[in-house]
Chains A and B, each alone.
Chain A
Amino acid sequence: MLTRRDLLKYGIGAATLSGFAPRWARGDDGGGARTPFVTEPFIQALPSPLIKSSFSSGTGCVAALPTTGIKAGPDKHQFFDAEGCTPTLAYTIDVRPGMHQFHPHMPATKIFGYDGTFPGPTFIAHYGEPILVRFFNNLPADHEGFGIPSITTHLHNGHTASESDGYPGNFHDSGTYWDNHYPNILNGFSTGPTNSCDCMNTLWYHDHREDFTAQNVYAGLAGFYLLFDDADCNDEKRGLRLPSGEFDVPMVFADKVFDAEGQAVFDFFNLDGILGDKYTVNGAIQPFLQVKRRKYRLRFLDAGPSRFYALAMSDGRPFVQIANDGNLLNTPFERPIVTLGVAERQDVIVDFSNNLVGDKVYLLNRAEQTDGRGPTGNLLTPGDPLVEFQVVASTDDFSQIPSTLRPPPVSDFTGATTRFWEFNRGNGQWTVNGKIFRPEEIRAHVKRNTKEVWTLKNGGGGWSHPIHIHFEEFRTLSRNGRRPQPFEDRKDIAVLGPGEEVTVGFHFRDFLGRYVMHCHNVVHEDHAMMIRFDLEE
């Protein structure tokens, strides 16, 4: 007879599709911590984060914002008054504690949340519509436990000025606010001409507090920022006609461990990278999503802290990948497995029109990972289910999968300044070119409106590092000396597996100031695997 332990180990129930047996979220973290709750999968619907509404609009929208508390910064914004940059919409975000139910069979969990929620509300932004967001830090100054009531908010891959970029040292304390200016404008606007090839679409915002990013994001400070343009326009009857509205589903993955009171546990004493034994999607442990017999756009985001995913469908159908790190590909690309490192985004189209009402299909994570070093490289069979898709009805589908999405810009990096960065570990400390992060040390002086080619090398030891470079996304020029895959062209994260070396090219445009490059295994990031580079005249 099967024991409870066997059931937990092997999953339970009869096989459904393709020999797939649904199972519990599985604990495999290297630290050995386990959540003492059994969380029945697929009994709660995939939450849909609220859409953020603006506080004020038009000329004077910023002046209309509340000014509760002390303004921590910035003193001024670059290009605030430039044509096409002055905010026409203004928002407030209340960064505060909240209570969040990750599973119906668990007590509510204390979180930090944008507007008190996890995930934070989704911004729907448009090119040509500049905005300003006022982030109020209403976290309690006397907070106890992991997380620090001190924040700085980064719009990941936003083309934003340094003072609005969530620079790790620009943190502000409880009772203060900070204004981030998001001009939603194409790279190169200050010099022209711009090119819609540079549009980016799936972004996210998250906390970036120096040395506490892992804790604060784990506590809940993460949300989507979806940017639209004339082609990718949030309307499946216009432009590229990608699945839109309720058929455009962002999914943020975050793995966690909970204690006997249902509170999230953060392992302070693991500097390698931490894994949770519960998979959450949009803040729900193993939810279901009722789908109609038609195409969906799924936007996958890995919010970490340290887990890598190899996503697959339980019936083996390939995804049609359309974007990587929020950048539409030149052409759609069929992939049976889509990998996701921390902070990467992958947009895919899944078509349920050939399914029958009543069918169930699962989104799986097939990556085996047993510690913070990274995936082992083994693929699990069948894998851990993240979401159960329940096919419930038929409906219209005006969307399409265009044969061409967004041709990449023409980039010539001849004569570009080159730099070499090696990501390593020594005496248990994370280093870049052998040095630890020092906030005041400028490791690269980059001239504005110039091109550079950077080589990013994994220094070894069996570690994986998803390397993120702020401010200006890059073209992937080579991976391990070879031409990169067509789906890794324009990106803001370069995943360096063990022994890998990736060369990337940038055109640094428009803004000046201090930015960072860091490992987005946020535990490595918080332990100094970061450099500061400055954009200068």
Chain B
Amino acid sequence: MISRRALMASLAAAPVAAAGAAAAPPSTGGRRRFPNPTLLTQDNERVAFYDDLMKGKIVLVNFFYVECTGICPAATANLLKVQELLGERVGRDIFIYSITLKPLEDRPAQLKMYQEMHNIKPGWTLLTGSAEDCELLRRRLGFADIDPVVDRDTANHIGVVLIGNERIDRWMACPVQTEPTQIVRSVSWMGR
């Protein structure tokens, strides 16, 4: 019979892979952190989420849908002020992304209409994609509620804006309804 001590030593001899039930090993940054699905912009352009939208950039990301009458109108109004305050940096080294929660309804044409209706300027991209890809991103970026009942209620969806600098792997999130100046202040903590 193998002694406890020997068993421990054998198990501890070298780093071993996580037990089968475990999820993928935690990632430390970059592409391993983000999936890279192909999405469509309001102009019907195909973009790779990580390669084209995140890599090396300072970003603000939220989720929304065109017909939302809950938190989205206020969130969009707030982000418009943020875009104005950030000025020409938006589209140069800072990028704003709003990903739809209803990719089946919000196709590029609907996103385009939303962009024009709100006078959203370049540097802020509205995104849709397949239902699976949008759902994957929603979950990986922390926009799913832990309570499945709450999570199914799209009208009460998560109202935060994720703010980060992919180049230095610095991330935070803040309520999208906070003062626009507070969001701009948070962006200033992301370095260059």
Contact = CB atoms under 8 A, between A and B. Distances in A.
A31 B24 CA distance: 10
Given A37-B15, A259-B27, A428-B157, A436 B172 contact: no
A371 interface: yes
B157 A40 contact: no
A144 interface: yes
Contacts of A527: 160, 173-175
Contacts of B189: 148, 150, 211-212
A13 B23 contact: no
A427 interface: yes
A372 B28 CA distance: 21
| Chain B interface size, under 10 / 10 to 19 / 20 to 34 / 35 or more | 35 or more
A268 B156 contact: no
A173 to B, nearest CB: 10
A371 B145 CA distance: 12
Contact of B146 (A150, A263, A371): A371
Interface in A1-56: 4-5, 7-9, 12-14, 27, 30-40
Given A148-B170, A268-B164, A33 B23 contact: yes
Interface in B1-50: 4, 7-9, 11-12, 15-23, 25-29
A38 B11 contact: yes
Given A33-B26, A528-B178, A143 B168 contact: yes
| Chain A interface size, under 10 / 10 to 19 / 20 to 34 / 35 or more | 35 or more
A304 B140 CA distance: 23
B146 A30 contact: yes
Interface in B138-177: 140-143, 145-147, 150, 156-160, 162, 164, 168-175, 177
Contacts of A268: 142, 164, 171-173
Given A269-B140, A270-B142, A34 B26 contact: yes
A39 B11 CA distance: 9
B28 A263 contact: yes
A64 interface: no
Contacts of B159: 427-429
B71 interface: yes
B171 A34 contact: no
Contacts of A436: 175, 177-178
The CB with the most chain A CB atoms within 10 A, among B8, B21, B23, B174, is that of: B8
A271 B173 contact: yes
A151 B25 CA distance: 30
A391 interface: no
A357 interface: no
B172 A526 contact: yes
Interface in A421-448: 426-429, 436, 438-439
A416 interface: no
Given A36-B17, A438-B182, A144 B172 contact: no
Contacts of A259: 25-28
The B contact surface, by secondary structure, is loop
Contacts of B23: 31-34
Given A427-B71, A428-B157, A34 B186 contact: no
B4 A13 contact: yes
B152 to A, nearest CB: 14
B175 A36 contact: no
B175 A257 contact: no
Contacts of A150: 189
Contact of A429 (B27, B141, B146, B160): B160
B54 to A, nearest CB: 13
Contacts of A373: 146
B179 interface: yes
Nearest to B171: A268
Nearest to B22: A34
A462 interface: yes
B12 A9 contact: no
Contact of B145 (A37, A105, A428, A438): A428
Given A36-B15, A142-B168, A144-B169, 13 more contacts: A5-B21, A36-B18, A145-B168, A212-B172, A257-B26, A269-B141, A269-B162, A272-B146, A426-B156, A427-B70, A428-B157, A428-B159, A439-B182
30 contacts: A4-B19, A5-B20, A7-B11, A9-B19, A27-B22, A33-B25, A34-B22, A35-B18, A36-B15, A36-B16, A105-B15, A106-B15, A144-B170, A145-B168, A145-B170, A146-B171, A148-B170, A148-B189, A211-B189, A257-B26, A259-B28, A260-B25, A267-B26, A268-B172, A372-B146, A427-B158, A428-B143, A429-B158, A429-B160, A527-B173
Interface of A: 4-5, 7-9, 12-14, 27, 30-40, 105-106, 142-146, 148, 150, 211-212, 257-261, 263, 265, 267-272, 371-373, 426-429, 436, 438-439, 461-462, 526-528
**Which 5 A/B pairs are nearest by Cβ-Cβ distance?**
A32-B23, A428-B158, A13-B4, A269-B142, A427-B159
Interface of B: 4, 7-9, 11-12, 15-23, 25-29, 70-71, 140-143, 145-147, 150, 156-160, 162, 164, 168-175, 177-179, 182, 186, 189, 191
